[in-house]
Structure 1
Amino acid sequence: GMIHGTVPVFKLVDGQQRLITISLILCALAESIKDISPDKYQRIRKYITNPDETGEHKYKLLPTAKHKDRETYKAILSGRSLSEIEPGSRILDAYNYYKSKLQEKLASGVFSEDQLFLVMVNCLQVVFIQLNSGEKPYQIFESLNAKGKPLTQADLVRNYIAMKLPEARQPEIFENHWSKIEEMLQESRYARKSGLGELTAFIRHYLAYRSGALCNSDHVYERFRDRIENEFNTDALFENEVKTLQRFAGYYDGFLRPENVQDGKAKISLTRLNTLEMATGYPFLLAMRDAVHNEKITNDEYLEGLAVLENYIVRRYLAGEPTNYLNKIFPTFWKDIDATRFIPSLKEILLTHNYPSDFAVKQKGMIRSFYDNNSTTRAKTTLVFETINRHLSLRNNQGGFTVLDGDPSIEHILPQTLSDEWKRELGDQYSFIYNQNINTLGNLTLVTAPWNSELSNSRFSIKKVRLAQHALKLNEQYFGQSIDRWNEQAIKTRAEYLLAQILEIWPAIGEPPAPTHAAGTYPFRLTFLGSVFPVASWRDVAENTTEVIIQKVTGFDEIANTLPSYLSKNPFPIKSRQLSNGWYMNVNLSAASIKGYCRTLITKSGLTLNDWQVEER
């Protein structure tokens, strides 16, 4: 209707999809009777258009310009031939669907044109809430959607931006900035393995970079809204923030899809960091990338920073450090960075955040598992082996290095299924040797899938000859040596060799601060039942003690069930380590508690404490 001789214009807060649907059905109904009953046609058209107006005021309702929705809607209501309308908007699909269904129902006599029209204009109720000046439409929108189907965090942010922008600025900001963000970071695609849509994941990491804290994924919209309300109190400031978001979205798109990055060195580094599951570090990468944009650091410093981060992540992987720790620390890093001495400053920060020493890398790298059913674990291990192969090739002045065709396959030299011949070669302790060494670094290498199938359970003498002929320097160089047997000692010798290469490739970036211990000492060696284990903490003592008992003692499950505070089939809430048999061990314990646990476990297992010794220094 008219108010003071003009058509009033309102910004629609909620219900656009439903109102557009009703409008499309009415449009299809009007078109179906246009030639039969012109009067009824005009009557129906008055519900969806203002016949006396021109331009955009001619339409009762206008969708947003996103995905060509507004352009398509206007074309349909203007009566243009559907074949002339450029595809791309779901509105065209919806109109074709309703038009087809309407023709089908009318032809079969399910209802008449008059019946449908009367139902739509008399039986549908629309709640109209008009806000006064000063009221915040997004608050009404939140309350209206509180009990409906949950919108994604990205949906809520988009709607908030639309409601926050002045009407006159919406088309330009959405078309030139927000739509570009949504094209780069599509909510329908997951951001790597986060389980979040790309746009939601980006906004979450952007907020983490700005605030220094990673919010819960369900609170992304609330944090975004609060930040805007508190820090951008004018339209100009808000528009600039949307433009800033577009710039950062471009960085984020490069992190997710390094193949689109122009800088060749950055492309390689980001690809490797993604293999290492560096997504937790994206807030810090956003800060680094924008520092280049603002000329606070150089591009060379950025590239070196990526290499330093790879060093940190690889060494933590080799030392078996948990990855969930990184979620909390990376958002905090940038506030402590001195950009005028970026690389030294970055190294200093990493060294104070559980940076593994050479000793820790070698100690854990000798004994921990580097292979399981998790594709991420296999990809990380593959990257380590491929890098060792490149290192060996270039060190020998080959001028290049071999890359396997297709996806490399991780080969177990001591096979995953032991034949009788392998059991004889390992001796009476074959089961213990197998369980302790099967997935360790020294027993693994890289081949192609056909080679993996060919080698399979072959005896070592056959595998050795074939691996010595392999194209990878990683295999050819080591297995070309004289190696008579593949037993526990041979596996450990190769692990030592590989770890020596690893420490050349990813050398320590400095000396970590000396650990502080209440008693002034810490464990460095465990001797249990004749086996010696280098350890770096009391948690390592507990893990190695428990693993020996798993291998040596029958009835572990029964014993574990009597120690529910220490052992469980499910992860403990704060800190736990998974054991080789699938059980979890609580490691959120003091040194005294761990000592007590080990002694209790040994006693319950029927063993003597005389066979268990921990050396401290």
Structure 2
Amino acid sequence: MKAGEIEFLSYLEGSNKNFIILGSGYMKAGEIEFLSYLEGSNKNFIRLGSGYMKAGEIEFLSYLEGSNKNFIIPVYQRNYNWKKEQCKRLFDDLEDIINSGLRTHFLGSVVSIYGMGKEYLIIDGQQRVTTMSILLLAMCQIIRELGQSRGIITTEEQIKECYLINKHSRNEEGKIKLKPIVEDRKAYYGLFEEEINTNQNSNIVSNYLYFYNRIREDNISVDDLFDAIQKLIIVEIELKSGEDDPQLIFESLNSTGLDLSEADRVRNFVLMGRDSKAQEEFYNNYWYRIEKNTKNNVSSFIRDYLTIKERNIPNKNKVHVSFKRYVSDNDINIEYLLKDLLKFSNYYKEIFDSSTSNSEVNEVLKRVNKLEIFVSYPFLLELFDDYNENILSTDQLIEALNLVECFILRRIICDVPTNALNKIFMNLGREIKKSSDYRENYSQILKYTFINKKSSQRFPDDNEFSNAFETKDIYNTKSKNKLYLLERLENYNNKERVDLENLINDNTLNIEHIMPQTLTNKWKESLGENYKEIHNKYLHTIGNLTLTGYNSKLSNKTFEEKKEMESGFKDSRLYLNKYISAIEKWSEEEIKNRTKILLNRALEIWKYPSTIYEPPRNSENLFTLEDEDINFTNESIVSFSILGECHKVKNWTEFYEQAAFTLYDLDPVRFNNIIDRTYKRDIIDNNKSREVTKLRKGTKISDNIYLETNLNTEAKLNIIRFLLKEFDIELNEVVFSIK
């Protein structure tokens, strides 16, 4: 196989070359052998920007071979991620080479920047280079153990001194050729020790053991395996330091390895293109600490960070693109940005671990985290930043966190759909800070904002919450929510706190139906003639649920037996059993009475906010086009943003027209196709004669498209929703302000 670069015009030049137009580009078509396609004396270099990229075919072992060569995995690269699946595929290929007698086998490409002192910075191909080095080390171990007894010709020194170490290096740090990034380096270097620590939790050690065991179990000859490795071919792509743009090249490569995460791409964008010293400093001082603070959940963290900064939620698969645009649009200095990211990652750690310096704050955070509503994190991060900037006092922070907890729990009990939560928490900070007096009235404005949420964004009031609390099937709700609810009811204002979570997990306590799931004759008799109705209505509700320490096999016993038995209700010290232990029977009346007792406690725990705060006149509320269950007919729109651009408008017609203009400008051809394919002439007219007589009141979008504006508000909103979906744009990317 021969590979090389060529100037683009040289590629096009030549007789008998045919090009077929396909869409808006050119495609050359014709049958040709692949190697003939690559072959050619003029195929040496391709100009890329202001630099040159050199590429060529080379044996993989020749790539590794050479004195004082160092292969460095830059800090912007992800950790070594290959697992057994990829290693198995590689080893299977090597066995095929051995069995079939193939002369060569293509391993892939390796892209590196050649720097000073024979240093190769590998920007693509680290997974293959690292894996092959691990395999060679496993072979060395086999040779050490079996060389003499099996008559192996290949020597450990031959492999190590040619491909794995620089024998005569005076610098111990430079002796081992391959230098993985910080997290992997210790594990890789450990494979060179006489006593290898195989207990490390590392992909490097795990794959080393896989190769070692596979060679032994398959009874593969090390000599045959080495011969197969000698037949591996790579395309070596060498970039010129200081001239080629490694970021652009990296992003354009179609790697055959594991997909990069969004965080991997962000890290590459932040660190690539800088000298080695700057990369090390940025990685060690900022990025590494960000990874640790977020427990390597960097993609989600950056998505939350961008949500705060741009008041828009990036698509999960486009975090990297959104991040680059944010940096470019705001001309942000990268080191300043890394400092800010590190600051917010510290907040993230405190929130996620409930590890602030204040015990009361930590208690609320633990409860919020138990509910696992991670879409609240953008607002929680903003709260912590405001607290850090002394905008909030400690008491205000605790009050705000309690409000978030209460808001989430009430919505869970009332079965309010969760799909609105992400935009609620995206906008909360903005809604607070649009008021000029937010520093003085932060908590009151937050309460006012929560109270005035409508429809799918609502904060359920006491009536709605009470009705749901009394009738909801608590037993079959999510385990985490059920446990959270029982724990709060039990431990609220209780100085002798009960560790319900651990007691339930180790079966010391069990969630118990007082009236059992299967009624015996005695239970039917005690419930009365309406026992079926009572059973169906109350079985799984909070009034009939409690915690017990007795064996769950006894759950069908009568109420009297459950009460009097060892570890029964009478002996219980739990608050949840206080009422039960004082009564003589269990019927509908007792269930209703206990429900009321627990409801009153719940209304105290998850208190509905109240405030006398009134915002300044002409203040605005924020909504998105996802709020399809809200009727905006009698509301006054003030402004809206679409695709990150804000527009002031006087009415819904201006919104309708401006949104349509924006989408048309985005892609006129697509807009025309949508109109031709879907819409009736009485709404949007594709009029070739440029007449608008078919519309009652038409607005010109282009020379041949007119928009009917004589429609009610909801019709206009629905048309824009339809167009957005056709353009594959999320409805929550259109945010508008209502007076």
Contact in 2 for aligned 1:469/1:476 (Cα 8 Å): no
* 1:183 matched to 2:292: yes
Contact in 1 for aligned 2:475/2:541 (Cα 8 Å): yes
Comparing 326-335 with 217-226, greater Cα deviation is found at 217-226
Task: Quickly say closer, same or farther: Cα 1:305–1:434, change in 2 above 3 A.
Answer: same
Q: Which amino acid aligns with 2:480?
A: T
User: Which structure ranks higher in relative contact order (CA pairs < 8 Å, sequence separation ≥ 6)?
Assistant: 2
Contact in 1 for aligned 2:411/2:460 (Cα 8 Å): yes
* 1:304 matched to 2:399: yes
User: Which residue is 1:343 aligned to?
Assistant: 443
CA distance in 1, matches of 2:344, 2:138: 43
Task: Quickly say closer, same or farther: Cα 1:85–1:367, change in 2 above 3 A.
Answer: closer
Shift of 1:415: 1.6
User: Which residue is 1:191 aligned to?
Assistant: none
CA distance in 2, matches of 1:410, 1:111: 60
User: Which residue is 1:383 aligned to?
Assistant: 487
List alignment gaps of at least 5 residues for structure 1.
188-197, 394-398, 521-589, 591-617
Q: Which amino acid aligns with 1:63?
A: K
CA distance in 2, matches of 1:436, 1:39: 79
Contact in 2 for aligned 1:296/1:339 (Cα 8 Å): yes
1:292 is matched with which residue: 367, 371, 387? 387
Q: Which amino acid aligns with 1:17?
A: Q
User: Which residue is 1:205 aligned to?
Assistant: 304
Alignment of 1:427-506 (within 5 A): 427-445=528-546, 447-450=547-550, 454=554, 456-463=555-562, 466-477=568-579, 479-481=581-583, 484-487=585-588, 489-506=589-606
Alignment of 1:199-598 (within 5 A): 199-231=298-330, 237-258=333-354, 260-337=355-432, 338-353=438-453, 354-372=458-476, 374-387=478-491, 390-391=492-493, 400=496, 406-407=503-504, 408-445=509-546, 447-450=547-550, 454=554, 456-463=555-562, 466-477=568-579, 479-481=581-583, 484-487=585-588, 489-510=589-610
More strand by share: 2
Q: Which amino acid aligns with 2:346?
A: G
Alignment of 1:17-28 (within 5 A): 17-25=127-135
Task: Quickly say closer, same or farther: Cα 1:463–1:72, change in 2 above 3 A.
Answer: closer
Q: Which amino acid aligns with 1:110?
A: S
Q: Which amino acid aligns with 2:520?
A: S
CA distance in 2, matches of 1:9, 1:498: 70
Shift of 1:281: 0.9
User: Which residue is 2:253 aligned to?
Assistant: 144
Alignment of 1:56-75 (within 5 A): 62-67=178-183, 69=185
CA distance in 1, matches of 2:338, 2:385: 15
Q: Which amino acid aligns with 1:296?
A: I
Shift of 1:117: 5.5
Contact in 2 for aligned 1:73/1:91 (Cα 8 Å): yes
CA distance in 2, matches of 1:436, 1:220: 47
CA distance in 2, matches of 1:377, 1:6: 59
Shift of 1:508: 2.0
Contact in 2 for aligned 1:421/1:459 (Cα 8 Å): yes
CA distance in 2, matches of 1:517, 1:93: 58
CA distance in 1, matches of 2:193, 2:575: 67
CA distance in 1, matches of 2:575, 2:165: 74
Deviations 1:534-561 (CA, angstroms, capped at 9, x unpaired): xxxxxxxxxxxxxxxxxxxxxxxxxxxx
Shift of 1:88: 7.4
After superposition, the CA RMSD in angstroms is 4.4
Task: Quickly say closer, same or farther: Cα 1:4–1:344, change in 2 above 3 A.
Answer: closer
CA distance in 2, matches of 1:427, 1:420: 11
Shift of 1:319: 2.8
Deviations 1:446-480 (CA, angstroms, capped at 9, x unpaired): x23426554x1232344456535421234224652
Alignment of 1:71-110 (within 5 A): 81=194, 91=204, 110=221
CA distance in 2, matches of 1:86, 1:111: 25
Shift of 1:176: 3.4
CA distance in 2, matches of 1:362, 1:182: 43
CA distance in 1, matches of 2:135, 2:184: 19
CA distance in 1, matches of 2:560, 2:156: 91
Q: Give SS of 1:406's match.
A: helix
Shift of 1:15: 0.4
Task: Quickly say closer, same or farther: Cα 1:144–1:472, change in 2 above 3 A.
Answer: same
Q: Which amino acid aligns with 2:304?
A: H
Q: Give SS of 1:471's match.
A: coil
Shift of 1:424: 3.0
Q: Which amino acid aligns with 1:19?
A: V
Contact in 1 for aligned 2:542/2:595 (Cα 8 Å): yes
Q: Which amino acid aligns with 1:344?
A: Q
CA distance in 1, matches of 2:549, 2:605: 27
CA distance in 1, matches of 2:630, 2:229: 75
CA distance in 1, matches of 2:288, 2:414: 43
Contact in 2 for aligned 1:283/1:330 (Cα 8 Å): yes
Task: Quickly say closer, same or farther: Cα 1:142–1:386, change in 2 above 3 A.
Answer: farther
Percent identity between the aligned chains?
28
Comparing 287-296 with 129-138, greater Cα deviation is found at 129-138
Contact in 2 for aligned 1:357/1:511 (Cα 8 Å): no
CA distance in 2, matches of 1:57, 1:383: 55
User: Which residue is 1:526 aligned to?
Assistant: none
Comparing 44-53 with 211-220, greater Cα deviation is found at 44-53
CA distance in 1, matches of 2:633, 2:293: 54
Task: Quickly say closer, same or farther: Cα 1:324–1:22, change in 2 above 3 A.
Answer: same
Shift of 1:346: 1.4
Q: Which amino acid aligns with 1:310?
A: E
Contact in 1 for aligned 2:370/2:484 (Cα 8 Å): yes
More helix by share: 1
Shift of 1:290: 1.9
User: Which residue is 2:282 aligned to?
Assistant: 173
Shift of 1:437: 1.6
TM score, norm. by length of structure 2: 0.56
Deviations 1:395-423 (CA, angstroms, capped at 9, x unpaired): xxxx6566667125332222211112222
Q: Which amino acid aligns with 1:437?
A: Y
Task: Quickly say closer, same or farther: Cα 1:75–1:459, change in 2 above 3 A.
Answer: closer
TM score, norm. by length of structure 1: 0.66
Task: Quickly say closer, same or farther: Cα 1:166–1:85, change in 2 above 3 A.
Answer: farther
Shift of 1:270: 1.0
Task: Quickly say closer, same or farther: Cα 1:136–1:211, change in 2 above 3 A.
Answer: farther
Contact in 2 for aligned 1:320/1:368 (Cα 8 Å): no
Shift of 1:264: 1.4
Q: Give SS of 1:277's match.
A: coil
Contact in 1 for aligned 2:114/2:120 (Cα 8 Å): no
**Number of aligned residues:** 487
Deviations 1:67-122 (CA, angstroms, capped at 9, x unpaired): 151x665787xx765569997765566567767877999xx78253xx66665455
Shift of 1:509: 0.8
Contact in 2 for aligned 1:297/1:340 (Cα 8 Å): no
CA distance in 1, matches of 2:528, 2:632: 44
Contact in 2 for aligned 1:292/1:302 (Cα 8 Å): yes
CA distance in 2, matches of 1:318, 1:97: 50
CA distance in 1, matches of 2:342, 2:399: 26
Alignment of 1:33-72 (within 5 A): 45=161, 55=171, 62-67=178-183, 69=185
CA distance in 2, matches of 1:43, 1:52: 15
User: Which residue is 1:561 aligned to?
Assistant: none
List alignment gaps of at least 5 residues for structure 2.
1-65, 70-112, 433-437, 615-628, 635-713, 715-739
